Amino acid sequence: MPNNAANKSKGKRRSTSQGAPPAPKQTRTVNWSKDVGTDGNSAEYHLVQWLIMRSGPTMRSNFECWKTLPKSGNRGHPNLHKAAIQYLVEKGCSSERKPDTVKPKILSLKKRYIEALQFKNSTGAGRLDGEEQDSGILKMCQYFDDLNEVLFHQAASMPKNGADTLSMGDADPSSVQLDLIMQNIIGKDDEAEGTKEEDGKDEDEEDEEDKDDKDEEDKDDGEEDDNDDDDGDGEERPPIAVIATPARRSVAGCHKALTLPRPLSVSITLLKIAKEHAQRRHDEVIQLETKKMEAEKERVKGKKKKAEQEVLASKLEMWHKHMSFNMERQGMSYEAAAADASAMMPSFMS
């Protein structure tokens, strides 16, 4: 009898465990790198291609529209995010991705592009050969060339002495141009700060997804967890983790800023350009005034010569009239008339 009672009790516990409803599964975001379309490319790749696509009468890229449109409303960011998701679905990517995950991914791509652009124009990168530099750029931003078509060209209004492109084989722009381009790419301060926060959130979600996948595999295989009791003291050893506090993030950001080579100050460069422009303008004004003075000198000289010729012609005419009067009216001979009019004779005839 006791055995039957124990069996019944055990059976009740088993039935209660089996009849309990399963725990609700946590909603997980779709990984951008692991979500592959029908052509074998990832959702991240297709999002980049969507950003550089151009359409409409003005042929503006989707990134330009995303940057200029309002962040809310039917014609703002939400509408563009839905269009991006629809494009990804058409390419064979997952349809479970939510539109609100598009903005953090775009900001993450911008951040990686800016870091690669700063590396390309830094002093340290300039000492590397072409292949090493290109490898370093692509390691920091896999889609640097594609994003460069819209991020750099859309932001750069290059002066005459600047480059109109920043492809890997072209000349680097000046520090002033690079600063202006960076400010235009990053946008407002609140958007730049959101880049870091939302990019970190996106990476945390991907790490959490990878962790969930690993836990499920360990559970299915029945393998022992790494944190199990190894020394037999009855306690599990939790993993050693470093909490990313705001203070640690601040220190890490300062360290990164110190290691990156800083471009030439904008004020110093602008002052140098202003001095060169003023000197060049001064030289041009001096040359122009010199030419004007020479032209005026030639004009005065020609006018004086013309006046002298008119005076001589007038004297010659008066001498001729006096000679004619003496010879015709006075009946003088030529020699007598010439002697009488000798005082009026022009100097070049004496």
Determine whether 65 is exposed, middle or buried from the number of CB atoms within 10 Å of its CB (0-12, 13-18, 19+): buried
Two tokens at 346?
């022009």
29 contacts 211 by C-beta, under 8 angstroms: no
- How confident is the model at residue 303, as a pLDDT? 92
- How confident is the model at residue 192, as a pLDDT? 45
- Residue 158 neighbours by CB under 8 Å, 6+ apart: 164, 173, 177
Tokens 């962790």 correspond to 211
- How confident is the model at residue 159, as a pLDDT? 40
Among the listed residues 207, 297, 283, 277, the one whose alpha carbon sits nearest the alpha carbon of residue 244: 207
Among the listed residues 181, 64, 61, 67, the one whose alpha carbon sits nearest the alpha carbon of residue 120: 181
Taking only the tens of pLDDT, the chain with its 350 residues reads 445 544 444 444 444 445 555 555 544 567 888 888 899 999 999 999 998 888 878 888 888 888 888 877 777 788 888 898 999 999 999 888 888 898 899 899 888 888 888 888 775 555 566 677 778 888 888 888 888 878 775 544 334 344 444 444 344 444 445 555 555 555 544 444 444 444 555 555 555 555 555 555 555 444 444 444 545 555 555 444 444 455 555 545 555 555 555 555 667 777 888 888 899 999 999 999 999 999 999 999 999 999 988 888 888 888 888 888 888 878 888 888 888 877 777 766 65
- How confident is the model at residue 79, as a pLDDT? 85
Q: How far apart, in whole angstroms, are the C-alpha atoms of residue 322 and residue 336?
A: 12
- How confident is the model at residue 157, as a pLDDT? 39
